[in-house]
Amino acid sequence: MTSHAASAAPRLDDLDMTRRLGRTGYEAKLGRLQKKLMRIQQAYLFSGRSAVIVFEGWDASGKGGTIRRISAALDPRSFKVWPIGAPRNYYLARHYLARFMERLPPEGAITVFDRSWYGRVLVERVEELTPEERWRAAYDEINAFEKMLVEDDTRVVKIFMHITPEEQLQRFERRLRDPLKRWKLSYEDFRNRKHWADYEQAIEEMLARTSTPHAPWCVLPANNKKYARIAAMHEIVERLSANVDIAPPNLDAAVLEEAEKHFELPEPLASNPARLPE
């Protein structure tokens, strides 16, 4: 099996790390994107579609903050976030994709992976936790896995959030000085900085080998959190809504008939009982 990467895979060096977004523009765009996410979730729930959203990036790159803004807009009954850390012994004795397959969304649901199966070609590669022949084989395995998801009518969105080493160190310091954020900081965060060049090499190869037509990578400059959040959410909205009717769901005629006994319904609701006003 061979990898079929997209012809124009994104590269870290091509990013404009100075991109920024002010508070006023951020708040307005955030509200609009969250409303669109609500409509997308309803469309997926009633159509039986499903979606997987993958977040990868450097430590302190803003993955968690972005996921929280997405989560704030969605109903948890058909939305799930899986934070991924080191596998337990149970999964160490199984294929590395097993724990992700068990967490895939059911029909009608959307699932976010805060880190993912790409740990195989990132941390496991850099930290030499997996033999080279096995992590190299993972590029084709991952491409086949994601193609299988797409062919099963699951949208796959992959976001990589990139920051500079200088910005990362500033965020570590802010975490250290904030009592409510110190829990996010660990010795491993500092130790991993010693392998920055190795991780960059692993990231670039990951992007080149696994950005495919059916599951392309979106790589974002994330030195400015507001810009990165909006850019990530915009990518998710665009990918999940493409060729999908996200108009509000049909209203059951029996519900409308009963409601008319209690309420004086305005137009266009009363004249169009099959459709809620947008």
Euclidean distance between CA atoms 196 and 164, whole angstroms? 10
- Angle (nearest 5°) at CA 189 between 70 and 57: 40
Q: Are residues 77 and 178 in the same domain?
A: yes
Q: Are residues 16 and 49 in the same domain?
A: yes
Q: Are residues 80 and 129 in the same domain?
A: yes
Are 187 and 247 in contact by the 8 Å Cβ rule? The answer is no
Q: Are residues 202 and 107 in the same domain?
A: yes
Torsion of CA 181, 29, 249, 257, to 10 degrees: 100
Instruction: Give pLDDT tens digits for 192-238.
Output: 999 999 999 999 999 999 999 999 999 999 999 999 999 999 999 99
Q: What pLDDT shows up at residue 268?
A: 62
Q: Is it the case that residue 243 has pLDDT exceeding 50?
A: yes
Instruction: Give pLDDT tens digits for 105-128.
Output: 999 999 999 999 999 999 999 999
Instruction: Give pLDDT tens digits for 30-52.
Output: 999 999 999 999 999 999 999 99
Confidence label for 269 from pLDDT (cuts 50, 70 and 90) = low
**Which residues make beta-bridge pairs with 113?**
54, 82
ω before 268 within 30° of 0 (cis)? yes
Asked if the structure places residue 182 within a domain, the reply is yes
Q: Are residues 182 and 269 in the same domain?
A: no
Q: Are residues 196 and 260 in the same domain?
A: no
Q: Are residues 183 and 87 in the same domain?
A: yes
Euclidean distance between CA atoms 106 and 47, whole angstroms? 12
Asked if the structure places residue 5 within a domain, the reply is no
Q: Are residues 228 and 267 in the same domain?
A: no
Q: Are residues 72 and 173 in the same domain?
A: yes
Confidence label for 276 from pLDDT (cuts 50, 70 and 90) = very low
Asked if the structure places residue 204 within a domain, the reply is yes
Asked if the structure places residue 29 within a domain, the reply is yes
Q: What percent of the chain has pLDDT over 90?
A: 84
Handedness of CA 172, 174, 179, 181 (dihedral sign): negative
Q: Are residues 127 and 217 in the same domain?
A: yes
Domain range spanning residue 177? 12-247
Number of domains in the chain: 2
Asked if the structure places residue 272 within a domain, the reply is yes
Q: Are residues 199 and 231 in the same domain?
A: yes
Handedness of CA 2, 133, 93, 209 (dihedral sign): negative
DSSP class of residue 214?
S
Q: Are residues 257 and 207 in the same domain?
A: no
DSSP three-state, residue 43: helix
Asked if the structure places residue 4 within a domain, the reply is no
Look at the pTM and tell me if it is higher than 0.95: no
Asked if the structure places residue 115 within a domain, the reply is yes
CATH code where residue 83 lies = 3.40.50.300
Asked if the structure places residue 42 within a domain, the reply is yes
